[in-house]
Amino acid sequence: MLNRYWTRAIVVTLPDGSSRSITCGREAANLLLGQWPTDDGALRERALQACYSLDKGMASPEAARLAFLDACVEARIWAVG
């Protein structure tokens, strides 16, 4: 399920200066779809796919977490976790 919690939260700082703690696939997908600074990016798409695969039981929470971290790097979003 998208809301399966990750082993460690990821704290991101968005371009507007706000910070969010992301703890599960649902929060990651919501951020990727709603507040992400771009609508493109191969790693963003991979992270979304990992979150949806998590929802279907086809990916682990850790795989989705790592894909989300990669998307943060691609988008130049400060992420710790």
Strand order in the sheet with 19-24: 19-24, 5-13, 78-80
What is residue 55's predicted lDDT score, i.e. its pLDDT?
87
pLDDT one-digit tens code per residue, 15-73? 999 999 999 999 999 999 999 999 999 999 999 999 999 988 899 999 999 999 999 99
pTM of the model: 0.93
Say what the pLDDT of residue 3 is: 62
Round to whole Å and give the CA distance between 35 and 56. 24
With vertex at residue 63, the alpha carbon angle to CA 58 and CA 37, rounded to the nearest 5 degrees, is 110
Neighbours of 52 (CB within 10 A): 15
